[in-house]
């Protein structure tokens, strides 16, 4: 990775690499020393974009949420902040900070900044929609964080195109700081974002940063009919794709392209996604340095037209 390969994040002054390191595993399936090694290797490869959320990993027994942010914060304190590093986190799903009310958004941002050890969050997402809070209240709260210098830019995640449009319209009407990007579920096996979200992103100048780009690990090629069990908390959902004829077509296409290019299937899947319209960066996590090594080529991997066509056709509904 290098600066020449970064992309602008919507209308912001942030520039991000094609591969964003997801932090959902930090402090969960990757302990702190392993998480530090993954972060070190990512930065050593030129990576400058780390994504987490305040809820990670509240679902694990004995966890309260904030574990991932805490690990990243300790890594930043120990290593010093790498030049150009963009740190993103999210609000609305932490057990103690649910929803997008103004009071909650402000309180959660304070808690996240303390865990991360940063004065300002580079990119702060509304992690999921909150139908119980007026959209204007949420939009104003995020904008106030930008005015206060506690957040640099705003993002949305898991919002429908209609709700995203409404949020943007409120910001335009009220003179508020507007979101610059959206984080949707999008992959070779989940292409719903192409129906309405990508046209909206093009219209409003939003960047997309897809998550689940590896379909919970299925697109790494680890899951095979009759193959060995995979040691992963996501194995159950990923294995379900083995019963899906379209998923098996995609896997076969990934095998063909990966062999042709000499890279891992996961890198091919993410490279295809990174080349989709309005996509600025793709999220992927790694439980250890070995998994990360398979993904690092994404930043420089250029798929030829034949490979792209093969994958696009195989994944068509």
State whether residue 65 is helix, strand or coil. coil
Please give the C-alpha separations between residue 280 and each of 49, 219, 274, in angstroms, as whole numbers.
11, 20, 7
The CA distance from 24 to 89, in Å, is: 10
Buried b (16+ CB within 10 A) or exposed e, 13-52: ebbbbbbbbbbbbbbbbbeeebbbebbebbbebbbbbbbb
Q: What share of the chain is helix, strand, coil (3-state, %, to 5)?
A: 45, 15, 40
Q: Can 56 be counted among the known catalytic residues?
A: yes
Ranges assigned E (strand) in the chain: 7-8, 15-16, 19-22, 49-51, 86-91, 93-94, 97-98, 121-126, 151-157, 181-183, 207-208, 282-284
What's the CA dihedral at 188, 192, 197, 202 to 10 degrees? 40
The CA distance from 43 to 82, in Å, is: 8
Catalytic residue among 42, 56, 125, 211: 56
Nearest Cα residue to 159 out of 137, 121, 126 = 126
What's the CA dihedral at 59, 61, 63, 67 to 10 degrees? -70
CB count within 10 Å of CB 187 equals 23
* Lookup result for tokens 């996509």: 279
- DSSP 8-state class, residue 92: B
The CA distance from 233 to 227, in Å, is: 17
- DSSP 8-state class, residue 226: T
Catalytic site residues? 56
């Amino acid at each position: 990775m290098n600066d020449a390969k970064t992309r602008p994040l919507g209308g912001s002054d942030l520039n991000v690499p094609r591969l964003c390191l997801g932090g959902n595993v930090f402090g969960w399936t990757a302990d702190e020393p392993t998480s530090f090694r993954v972060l070190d290797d990512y930065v050593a490869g030129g990576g400058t974009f780390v994504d987490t959320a305040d809820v990670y990993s509240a679902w694990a027994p004995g966890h309260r949420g904030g574990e991932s942010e805490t690990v990243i914060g300790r890594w930043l304190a120990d290593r010093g902040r790498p030049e150009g590093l963009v740190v993103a986190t999210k609000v609305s799903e932490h057990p103690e900070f649910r929803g997008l009310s103004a009071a909650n958004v402000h309180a959660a941002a304070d808690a996240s900044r303390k865990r991360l050890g940063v004065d300002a969050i580079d990119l702060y997402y509304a992690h999921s929609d909150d139908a119980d809070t007026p959209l204007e209240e949420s939009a104003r709260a995020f904008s106030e964080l930008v005015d206060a210098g506690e957040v640099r830019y705003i993002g949305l995640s898991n919002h429908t195109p209609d709700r995203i449009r409404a949020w943007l319209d409120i910001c335009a009407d009220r003179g508020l700081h507007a979101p610059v990007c959206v984080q949707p579920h999008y992959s070779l096996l989940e292409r719903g974002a192409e129906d309405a979200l990508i046209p909206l992103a093009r219209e409003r100048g939003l960047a997309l940063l897809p998550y689940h780009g590896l379909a919970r690990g299925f697109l790494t090629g680890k899951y095979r009919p009759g193959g060995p069990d995979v040691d992963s908390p996501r194995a159950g959902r990923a294995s379900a794709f083995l019963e899906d004829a379209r998923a098996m077509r995609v896997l076969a296409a990934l095998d063909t392209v990966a062999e042709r290019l000499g890279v891992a299937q996961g890198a091919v899947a993410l490279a295809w996604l990174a080349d989709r319209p309005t996509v600025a960066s793709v999220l992927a996590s790694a439980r250890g340095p070995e998994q990360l090594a398979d993904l690092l080529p994404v930043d420089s991997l250029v798929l030829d037209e034949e490979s792209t066509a093969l994958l696009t056709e195989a994944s068509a509904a």
